[in-house]
Amino acid sequence: MVDDGAAGAYPCEFEMTFPHGCHIVEEVEPVKDFEASTNG
């Protein structure tokens, strides 16, 4: 369940969001400093 704060909680299951699955379409590269890469 996801709570957006305004409308309340609504169902958000993986199968509802990605009914055909989730796949990588490009090469994946490691990130040396994850916190810096996400402005965190």
**pTM score, whole prediction:** 0.35
Asked if 11 and 1 touch (Cβ cutoff 8 Å), the reply is yes
Residue pLDDT, tens place only, 1-40: 666 666 677 778 888 888 998 888 899 888 788 777 666 5
Q: Which residues of 1-37 are buried (b: 16+ CB within 10 A; e: fewer)?
A: eeeeeeeeeeeeeeeeeeeeeeeeeeeeeeeeeeeee
pLDDT at 38: 67
Q: Kindly state the helix (H) or strand (E) to which residue 35 belongs, with its residue range.
A: helix 34-37
Q: How far apart are CA 1 and CA 16, in angstroms?
A: 12
